[in-house]
Structure 1
Amino acid sequence: MRFSVTYRIFAPDLTEAKARAGAIALEQTVEIPRDVVPAGYIETEILGRIEEIGAEAEGRFRATISYSPDSAGRELAQFFNVIFGNSSIQRGLRVIAVDPGAEMTRRHPGPRFGIDGIRALCGRTHGGMIAPVLKPQGLNADALARLGYLCAKAGADVVKEDHGIMDQPMAPFRERVEKTVAAVARANAETGGRALYFPSLAGAPDQIEANIRFAKDAGADGLLVMPGLLGFGVVARIARDGALNMPVMTHPSFLGPYVLSPETGFDHGVMFGTLQRLAGADISVFPNVGGRFGFTAGDCAQIATACRDPNGPGRAMLPSPGGGMSVERAGDMAAMYGTDVVYLLGGSLLRLGERIGEGIAAMRAALDRVDG
């Protein structure tokens, strides 16, 4: 019934690591000194429990601590709070694995669609998927819709808005959603394709719910959400709504500080794989190796593995690397990521202007060659 979190603890010796692990077990649950923890239910059930601890390398220790589902409740926010709430403020502590266990997986079942569901929606039964990005910020709604039309007509699987396009005056959320839905639908009707359109969810907290409903009613196929800014709970709210029935793509904006220091935060696979799945994302965007953000091949492989791990949590989801993507790199990327992947294409396509379809077609041909 209990769920567990594995932490990497940086400490000079095992004695200190054990002391820190004990402090984490307290901090993440009761947040009071050990000698005043009430006996009975609170001590035996609510208090975090050190299940295992040992050395990884000099100055590094791995500690697995289990927690009661009662401590986490049913809210995703509180679940994540127990995983790494106050302890995230400490130095020399990093989350390297989360095992939600049966009960928390039941409460947070993960992606509604996952890999198979997204493939069914866009009609791409095998091979890597292509997702051109509508940008740059500053274009009006008509220009963005025109780009969406060209991308869908060229055979894009997912037409995704850039995360930086929110509700600015040059392309207000509702105007551009209506226009881009119509443009992508027109392209699909002309080609017989099934390109999916994911607008970037925008709005102040009191507007988010209405904008979700607006996007659904307007005909958007899914939504791009930035959980680092809008909250993981917004992802869960969309994913859990059977009547809404919309897939979610998550974007890493604002989440960089959670992973960039090797001695704090989360491992890349936990942040962009496990936590996104628990929230209910179907596609997780992250910086690709060789791009401008400095993620390594190991970081990216860890993310892709966590996204597609058949052991969960929930359905396997699609990793979506972006940055530094090109036709010339298609073979290397396919060798690295396999076939269950969504490739983001941005600047390399926009250089082509009205000939953007040629770039998408070239990428499709390159992927088809390596995917078989």
Structure 2
Amino acid sequence: MRFAVSYRIFAADPAEARARAEGIALEQTVEIPRDVVPAGFVEDEILGRIEEIGREGEGRFRATISYSPASAGDEITQFFNVIFGNSSIQRGLRVIGIEPGEEMARRHPGPRFGSAGIRALCGRPAGGMIAPVLKPQGLDAEALARIGYLCARGGADIVKEDHGITDQPMAPFRERVEKTAAAVARANAETGRRALYFPSLAGQADELEANIRFAKAAGADGLLIMPGLLGFGVVSRIARDPALNLPVMTHPSFLGPYVLSPDTGFDHGVIFGTLQRIAGADISVFPNVGGRFGFSVAECRQIADACRVPEGPGRAMLPSPGGGMSVERAADMAAMYGPDVVYLLGGSLLRLGERIGEGIAAMRAALDAAEAERA
């Protein structure tokens, strides 16, 4: 019934590591000194429990602490708060693994669609998927819709808005969503294919619910969410609603500080894979190796593995590397990520202007050739 979190603890010796683990168990639950923890239910069930602790290397220890589902309740915000709330403010602690356990997996079932569901929606039964990005910020709604039309007409699997396009006066959210959804639908009608349109959810906190429903009614096929800014609860709210029945793509904006320091925060696979799956995302965007953000091959593989591992949590989801993507790199990327991936294409396509479909077709051919060679 209990769920477990594995932490990397930086400490001088085993005694310090155990003391820090005991501190985490207190901090993440009762947040009072050990000698005043009430006996009975609070001590036996609510208080975090050290399940194992051992040395990883010089100055590094791994501790697994279990927690009661009663401590987390039904809210995903409190679940994540127990995983790494106050302890995230301390130095020398890093979350390196999460095992939700049977009860928390029931409360938070994960992606509604997952990899298989997204493939069914866009009609791409196998192979890497191509997702051009609508940008740059500053274009009006008509111009962005035109790019969306060209991308869908050219063979995109997913037409995704840039995360930086929200509700600016140049292209207000509702006008943009209406026009782009109509443009993508027109392209789909002309080609007989099924490109999916994912607008970037925007609005003040009290506007989000209405904007979610507006996007659905306007013909959006999914939503792009920035959980680092809007919150993981927004992802969960959309994923759990059968009436909406909309897939979610998450974007890493604002989450960088959680992973960039090696001795604090989260492992890359935990925050861009495990946490996104628990919240209910179907596609997780992250910075690709070789792009401008400096993620390593090992870090990107860790993310992709966490997105797709069959053991969960929930359905397997699609990793979506972005940055530095090109036709020339297609073979290397296919070899690195395999077929279950969504490739983001931005600036390299926009250089082609009205010929953007040629770039998508070239990328499709390069991916198909690389995957056929691997088969």
Task: Specify the TM-score bucket, using the shorter chain as the normaliser.
Answer: over 0.9
Letter in 2 for 1:21: A
| Structure 2: gaps of 5 or more residues | none
1:280-295 correspondence runs (5 A): 280-295=280-295
- Measured on the aligned residues, the alpha-carbon RMSD in Å equals 0.3
Q: Which residue of 1 aligns with 2:217?
A: 217
Q: Which residue of 1 aligns with 2:114?
A: 114
Letter in 2 for 1:154: G
Q: How far 1:370 sits from its partner (Å)?
A: 1.2
Q: Which residue of 2 aligns with 1:30?
A: 30
> Scaled by the length of structure 1, what TM-score is found?
1.00
Q: Deviations over 1:27-69 (max 9, x none)?
A: 0000000000000000000000000000000100000000000
Question: Equivalents in 2 of 1:124, 1:139: separation in Å?
Answer: 30
Question: Equivalents in 1 of 2:49, 2:255: separation in Å?
Answer: 29
* Paired positions, count: 372
Q: Which residue of 2 aligns with 1:198?
A: 198
Question: Equivalents in 2 of 1:74, 1:188: separation in Å?
Answer: 40
Report the secondary structure of 2:163's partner residue: coil
Q: Which residue of 2 aligns with 1:234?
A: 234
Q: Which residue of 2 aligns with 1:127?
A: 127
Question: Equivalents in 1 of 2:314, 2:10: separation in Å?
Answer: 31
Q: Which residue of 2 aligns with 1:44?
A: 44
Q: Which residue of 2 aligns with 1:339?
A: 339
Report the secondary structure of 1:207's partner residue: helix
Q: Deviations over 1:142-161 (max 9, x none)?
A: 00000000000001000000
Letter in 1 for 2:187: A
Q: Deviations over 1:197-221 (max 9, x none)?
A: 0000000000000000000000100
Q: Which residue of 1 aligns with 2:163?
A: 163
Q: How far 1:371 sits from its partner (Å)?
A: 1.5
> Scaled by the length of structure 2, what TM-score is found?
0.99
Q: Which residue of 1 aligns with 2:179?
A: 179
Report the secondary structure of 1:127's partner residue: coil
Q: Deviations over 1:303-334 (max 9, x none)?
A: 00000010000000000000000000000000
Report the secondary structure of 1:367's partner residue: helix
Letter in 2 for 1:244: L
Q: Which residue of 1 aligns with 2:262?
A: 262
Q: Which residue of 1 aligns with 2:99?
A: 99
Percentage of pairs with the same residue: 84
1:312-351 correspondence runs (5 A): 312-351=312-351
Question: Equivalents in 2 of 1:180, 1:161: separation in Å?
Answer: 10
Letter in 1 for 2:104: M
Report the secondary structure of 2:193's partner residue: coil
Q: How far 1:76 sits from its partner (Å)?
A: 0.1
Q: Which residue of 1 aligns with 2:139?
A: 139
Question: Equivalents in 1 of 2:366, 2:294: separation in Å?
Answer: 25
1:11-26 correspondence runs (5 A): 11-26=11-26
Report the secondary structure of 1:349's partner residue: helix
